């Protein structure tokens, strides 16, 4: 009788675990189909040796996903640091994907950014700001306006680009 009860408990725990794993994978896959943030084909990233040492690691392509706290409104994003001068002024490209819920159509903007310590402030046509915190694991982005607050972790793409 005791072994039957133990078997029942083990089966119950396994079934509940399987349900949680399925639901987690379902929710994760729901947010993966966000498309991409396409870049112009003529982007040139300056050779690292032409950039001050403290900024060299920022050169290149960074990609991630903007999302609200509940992850329902995901948006692919790509950020390219093409060049940085000795004052921290950077030439960048900011690209975003499609999001029907938000009425956002894929696009990109070639603009400037200012790097200050561990912060990158991107110049946008939008009066709100786009900032990235430089973290060990990547760039932590924040965008906030009157109707939407999102964040993203952008990871650096292949160094051989």
Could you write out the DSSP letters of every residue in 93-121? EEEE--BTTTTB--EEEEEEEEEETTEEE
Residue 70, SS3 per DSSP: coil
Question: Which of 61, 119, 41, 115 has the alpha carbon at shortest distance from 84?
Answer: 115
Domain ranges of the chain: 1-30, 48-156
pLDDT tens for each residue of 36-54: 788 888 999 999 999 999 9
User: Residue 13: its pLDDT value, please?
Assistant: 55
Task: Name the residue with tokens 């639901």.
Answer: 23
pLDDT tens for each residue of 99-144: 887 788 899 999 999 999 999 999 887 777 789 999 999 999 988 7
pLDDT tens for each residue of 51-83: 999 999 999 999 999 887 665 678 899 999 999
> Could you tell me which CATH class the domain 48-156 is placed in?
mainly beta
User: Residue 27: its pLDDT value, please?
Assistant: 41
User: Residue 75: its pLDDT value, please?
Assistant: 86
User: Residue 11: its pLDDT value, please?
Assistant: 56
* Per-position DSSP letters for 25-46, written without gaps between them: HHHHHHTT--------TT--PP
- CA–CA gap between residue 15 and residue 127 (Å, rounded): 51
Q: What is the pTM of this model?
A: 0.74
pLDDT band for 2, please (50, 70, 90 cuts): low
User: Residue 113: its pLDDT value, please?
Assistant: 96
Percent of the chain at pLDDT exceeding 90: 47
pLDDT tens for each residue of 5-35: 776 665 555 565 555 444 444 343 343 445 6
Q: How much is the mean pLDDT over the chain?
A: 80
């Amino acid at each position: 009788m005791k072994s039957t009860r133990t078997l029942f408990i083990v089966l119950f725990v396994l079934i509940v675990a399987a349900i949680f794993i399925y639901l987690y994978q379902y929710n994760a896959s729901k947010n993966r189909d966000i498309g991409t943030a396409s870049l112009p084909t003529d982007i040139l990233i300056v050779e690292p040796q032409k950039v001050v040492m403290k900024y060299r690691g920022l050169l290149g392509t960074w990609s991630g996903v903007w999302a609200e706290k509940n992850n329902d409104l995901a948006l692919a994003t790509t950020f390219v640091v093409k060049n940085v001068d000795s004052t921290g002024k950077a030439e960048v490209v900011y690209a975003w994907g499609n999001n029907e819920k938000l009425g956002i159509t894929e696009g990109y903007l070639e603009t400037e950014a200012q790097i200050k310590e561990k912060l990158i402030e991107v110049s946008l046509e939008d009066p709100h700001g786009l900032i990235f915190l430089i973290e060990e694991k990547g760039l932590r982005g924040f965008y906030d306006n009157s109707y939407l607050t999102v964040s993203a972790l952008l990871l650096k793409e292949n160094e051989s680009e």
